[in-house]
Amino acid sequence: MKQKKNGQSGTAWRPVVPGLDRHIRRRVWAFAGCLAVLCFGGLLVRLFVLQLLDPGGYAARAADQQLRDTVVPAPRGEIYSADGTLLAASETCWTIRAAPQELADELVEPAAKALSEILEIDEAETLEKFSQRSSNDCLLRRRVDRETADAVRRWCEENGAEGIQIRQDTRRVYPQGDSMGCLLGFTDVDNAGLWGLELEYNEALTGENGRVLTAKNAWGYDMPEEYSTLIEAVPGSSLTLTIDANIQHMLEGALSAAVAEHHVAARGVGIVMDVQTGAILAMTTKPDYDPNDPRTIVDEEVRAQVNALSGEERSQALQVAQQAQWRNKAISDLYEPGSVFKLITCSAALDTGAVTPESQFVCAGKINVSGTTFRCANGHIHGLETLAQGLAASCNPCFIQVGARLGKQAFCDYFAAFGLREATGIDLPGEIKRSEYYTADRMGPVMYFGP
Ligand SMILES: [Zn+2]
């Protein structure tokens, strides 16, 4: 008491010099401040980093532990012909997956047996998947129909099996069967375009997948439905072609008959184009494959040859045969024109004024050019004829004379002006970019390619 009353100088540790007391106090405060900065500064910096610089990092990791993210596949856009016929559509189906860690131990074997039977999958492989007890996700079978999915659901309910997931999915279907396989193409297991229009317009046809976020409890199991969030899937855009289904049907019928009649070995091809706009009204390659089942070889002979092989040799041969049947001959193969080219020669000659529709020519059944004799087709002798008559009869001597009047330079200029040196740029994948032609400097008076 006394010491306290007597004031500062009475305390043993207090400094004798008055100024020194304040000095030490400041140092103590400074020391405490430094300590605080050292202790909490690190935390503040960390807080700053977490809150402002990396706001998503920890949240995302936490969400990953607490949420199950299930993709809801977006339906792919439909493809229609110009007249509204449905050519490609998406059908609802179900994909069966499993989270083995949620399946009760005593159900591992019975589930493997029952589900492999229902899903027509390998029992040993399924058992192997279920035996990985910590596994959270494995695929059992993609895209099964309603009946199969219901059978799976029934078995799980009757046996109280948990962890078997029946997820809604979509599957591509082509209602017209083997019509337009080469044109439409097809999709891969993930519903992405792999060939034809499906590939060319993949981005537009593909929608945006939705998601179901389901809260998981500490064990990783799904929480009740009120903890789930649905992000709706956005369907892909649909595509309407210039193809007219009726014209397409007629072209396919006629071409199939012609291919059969003439025993065509390397497939027949046909295109119907609107001459005013260049729009493709029909396009086909016969025989054509069914896009619902593109991997099966259509040609029976080729299929037998492939199946006679085994191992690596077979898979290579199968791949070659598939690539060949998927090829759209109408745009991927070079076409060597015959008499149809008379139209180009005629247009050029009319346009330059070298001839008029009434210009007269003589067909004596043959014509000699620089020592080489050319004959009119099928032994015809057309006699005196106008250009119009010569074109209607596809007379060879008439058009040899038209070509001579036009001249090789003008002929080549028009060949280029018609765009025959380049690809058409059609909106289909796999168009051949190469063209084969003679330039004027390589042309003699006789250009004779065959019989
Ligand atoms: Zn003739």
pTM of the model: 0.71
How far away, in angstroms, is 383 Cα from ligand 1 center? 7
Q: How far is the CA of 436 from the centre of ligand 1 (A)?
A: 28
Q: How far is the CA of 377 from the centre of ligand 1 (A)?
A: 7
Residue 216 pLDDT exceeds 80: no
Please check the confidence at residue 283 and state whether its pLDDT lies above 90: yes
- Under the phi-then-psi rule, with left for phi > 0, alpha for psi from -120 to 50, and beta for the rest, what region is 203? alpha
CA of 268 to the centre of ligand 1 (A): 28
Q: How far is the CA of 373 from the centre of ligand 1 (A)?
A: 13
Torsion angles phi and psi, residue 363, rounded to 5: -115, 115
C-alpha of residue 389 to centroid of ligand 1, in Å: 10
Distance 361 CA to ligand 1 centre (A): 9
Structure-model confidence comparison of residues 329 and 13, the more confident one? 329
Residue 311, phi then psi, degrees to nearest 5: 60, -140
pLDDT given for residue 25 in this prediction? 80
pLDDT at 33: 77
* Residue 390 Cα to ligand 1 middle (Å): 7
Ligand 1 centroid distance, CA of 410 (Å): 24
How close is the Cα of 379 to the center of ligand 1, in Å? 8
CA of 126 to the centre of ligand 1 (A): 74
Distance of CA 314 to the CA centre of its chain: 26
Q: For residue range 423-446, what is the model confidence (pLDDT) as tens digits?
A: 989 999 999 988 888 888 888 887
Mean pLDDT to the nearest integer, 262-277: 92
- How far is ligand 1, taken at its centre, from the CA of residue 401, in Å? 11
The predicted structure's pLDDT at residue 44: 73
If DSSP states are collapsed to H, E and C, what string results for the chain?
A: CHHHHHCHHHCCCCCCCHHHHHHHHHHHHHHHHHHHHHHHHHHHHHHHHHHHHCHHHHHHHHHHHHEEEEEECCCCCCEECCCCCEEEEEEEEEEEEECHHHCCHHHHHHHHHHHHHHHCCCHHHHHHHHHCCCCCCEEEEEEECHHHHHHHHHHHHHHCCCCEEEEEEEEEECCCCCCCHHHHCCECCCCCECCHHHHHCHHHHCCECEEEEEEECCCCCECCHHHEEEECCECCCCEECCCCHHHHHHHHHHHHHHHHHCCCCCCEEEEEECCCCCCEEEEEEECCCCCCCCCCCCCHHHHHHHHCCCHHHHHHHHHHHHHHHHCCHHHHCCCCCCHHHHHHHHHHHHHHCCCCCCCEEEECCEEEECCEEEECHHHCCCEEEEHHHHHHHCCHHHHHHHHHHHCHHHHHHHHHHCCCCCCCCCCCCCCCCCCCCCCHHHCCCCCCCCC
342-352 vs 408-417: helix axis angle to the nearest 10? 110
pLDDT confidence band for 222 (50 / 70 / 90)? low
Domains, the chain, ordered by start? 338-442 (3.40.710.10)
The alpha carbon of 347 and the centre of ligand 1 are apart by a number of angstroms equal to 19
Q: Which two tokens stand for residue 99?
A: 């989270």
382 C-alpha vs ligand 1 centroid, how far in Å? 4
Of 336, 335, 337, 329, give the one whose Cα is nearest residue 430. Answer: 329
Would you say residue 196 has pLDDT above 90?
Answer: yes
Expressed in angstroms and rounded, the spacing between residue 375 Cα and the centre of ligand 1 is: 8
Mean pLDDT over each residue of the chain, to the nearest integer: 87
pLDDT one-digit tens code per residue, 35-91: 777 777 777 777 676 666 665 566 555 555 556 677 888 889 999 999 999 999 998
Question: Rounded mean pLDDT of 134-152?
Answer: 91
Digit-coded pLDDT (tens) for 328-359: 999 999 888 889 999 999 999 999 999 999 99
Confidence (pLDDT) at 218: 52
Query: What Å distances lie between residue 81 and 106, 176, 242, CA to CA?
Result: 54, 11, 7
